[in-house]
Amino acid sequence: MAFINDNYQKLPGSYLFSEIAKRVATFQSKNPSAKIIRLGIGDVTQPLPRVCIDAMKHAVDEMSSAETFRGYGPEQGYEFLRDKIADYNYKRRGLNVDIDEIFISDGSKCDCGNIQEIFGLNNKIAIADPVYPVYLDTNVMAGRTGELQSDGHFEGVVYLPCISENGFSPSIPTEHVDLIYLCSPNNPTGTTLSKDALEMWVDYAKANDSIILYDSAYAAYITEDDVPRSIYEVDGARDCAIEFRSFSKTAGFTGTRCGYVVIPRELTGANHHGERVPLKNLWLRRQTTKFNGTAYIVQRGAEAIYSEEGQSQVKELIGYYMENAKIIREGLNEVGLQAYGGVNAPYIWLKTPNGMKSWDFFDKLLNEVNVVGTPGAGFGPCGEGYFRLTSFGDRNNTIEAMNRIKSNLNI
């Protein structure tokens, strides 16, 4: 008999997006003429920057001749790409990250999900709530949690509430934790952690010998100068933090696939003898065993954003989404809905009116104005009573959706 990994059965079905699809389909079949606008979408919609297309076309041509053909690439990714990342995202911002500390991957979801493999099962984990579900689910699969309880929490996990009352900036846990997952700019709340908040977390991690797993997939969306783009802007973070970044939201690579992890060389964990082991070495071992690199063509495409022209094209792309974000945020404010985020992130997080449940607000929005969003409860227990709208849609649809909300939503 082949036994399964029982931990998988602790996970509830991926209820969120299938339930949304089901409710939308039911509504559309009853109202065939309704023009539904989707502002729930968590994927980019605009084409890749021209520089990326040109670079990838050139790379494809290189593959057609034996002299320039590339097979398996270097373990951590091509140096041409790691050089540019270290330069543009770190050195130019006064941060010290070397290319041997950068690991190129085929996206951040796998990195955020796989990183837990290099840590022992006895680590206590703390996870922001609400947040991107990958951190929690991969720890459940690995057996680092108990069962799902009736209050929506997994046994053995420390949840870090991010709610309007604390400005969506979680407090330090009252108990000891070993691994801390933070996401800033946050998906789904669209809010960011300040320099002070990150300093507090770095202090905690250093005092408790913990590791911070810092997901900054949306760093490129930060518009305010005083918001940290990287955790390494905080002194001491190199001793306690791993950073995840992605080209997905930065440059429209959700279907093209490229991301990276930064693991500073001084970062270590303890083995069961209490000896310190560099985490970077463990991650290299893991990746060289289970991963064979991101396509050369794709790495050339990613590299292309690091030029003057590339940077300006990426800025324009992000500017398009951020203009949508502004339209949504201002529209919600106009009708008196409390909205957060949307300034340094493509997500707008609104508080449902009159304490409505997230799913009730979903139905209301769908029924009254034919607009689809994402119920906050789908991102963690503290997401209940909130609702996510995204700015990844098309401009005209975004404007139309907000006009409908302004004229027809019954609040």
Ligand X SMILES: *Cc1c(COP(=O)(O)O)cnc(C)c1O
Q: Which member of 7, 208, 254, 367 binds ligand X (CB under 6 A)?
A: 254
Which distant-in-sequence residues (6+ apart) come within 8 Å of 222 by Cβ? 185, 192, 229, 344, 345
Nearer to ligand X, 132 or 321 (CB): 132
Q: Which amino acid is at 214?
A: Y
Nearer to ligand X, 169 or 370 (CB): 169
DSSP secondary structure letters along 147-189 = PBPTTSPBTT-EEEE--GGGTT-PPPPSS--SEEEEESS-TTT
Q: How far is the CB of 261 from ligand X (least distance, A)?
A: 11
Rounded distance between C-alpha atoms, residue 5 and residue 143, angstroms: 9
Residue where the block lists tokens 């709530």: 129
Which distant-in-sequence residues (6+ apart) come within 8 Å of 116 by Cβ? 138, 139, 142, 144, 179
Q: Which amino acid is at 126?
A: A
Q: Are the C-beta atoms of residues 301 and 254 closer than 8 Å to each other?
A: no
Q: How far is the CB of 136 from ligand X (least distance, A)?
A: 12
The region of 11-19, 56-64, 243-251, 325-333 touching ligand X under the rule CB under 6 A is: 243-251
Rounded distance between C-alpha atoms, residue 411 and residue 266, angstroms: 54
- CB closest to ligand X, residue no: 107
Residue 132 binds to ligand X (criterion: CB under 6 A): yes
Nearer to ligand X, 35 or 290 (CB): 290
Q: How far is the CB of 183 from ligand X (least distance, A)?
A: 5
Q: How far is the CB of 56 from ligand X (least distance, A)?
A: 17
For ligand X, the binding residues in 181-210 under the rule CB under 6 A are 183, 187
Rounded distance between C-alpha atoms, residue 96 and residue 265, angstroms: 11
Residue 358 binds to ligand X (criterion: CB under 6 A): no
Q: How far is the CB of 327 from ligand X (least distance, A)?
A: 21
Residue 404 binds to ligand X (criterion: CB under 6 A): no
Residue 217 binds to ligand X (criterion: CB under 6 A): yes
φ and ψ at residue 338, rounded to 5 degrees: -75, 120
Residue 388 binds to ligand X (criterion: CB under 6 A): no
Residue 178 binds to ligand X (criterion: CB under 6 A): no
Chain length of the chain = 411
Q: Which member of 38, 144, 229, 249 binds ligand X (CB under 6 A)?
A: 249
Q: Is 390 helix (H, G, I), strand (E, B) or coil?
A: strand
Nearer to ligand X, 258 or 328 (CB): 258
Nearer to ligand X, 17 or 69 (CB): 17
Per-residue x/- track, 97-126, ligand X (CB under 6 A): ----------xxx--x--------------
Interface with ligand X (CB under 6 A), residue total: 14
Rounded distance between C-alpha atoms, residue 116 and residue 309, angstroms: 37
Joined together, the tokens standing for residue 210 give 């913990």
Rounded distance between C-alpha atoms, residue 107 and residue 161, angstroms: 27
Nearer to ligand X, 59 or 131 (CB): 131
104, β-bridge pairs: 260
Residue 248 binds to ligand X (criterion: CB under 6 A): yes
Interface positions with ligand X (CB under 6 A): 107-109, 112, 132, 183, 187, 215, 217, 246, 248-249, 254, 259
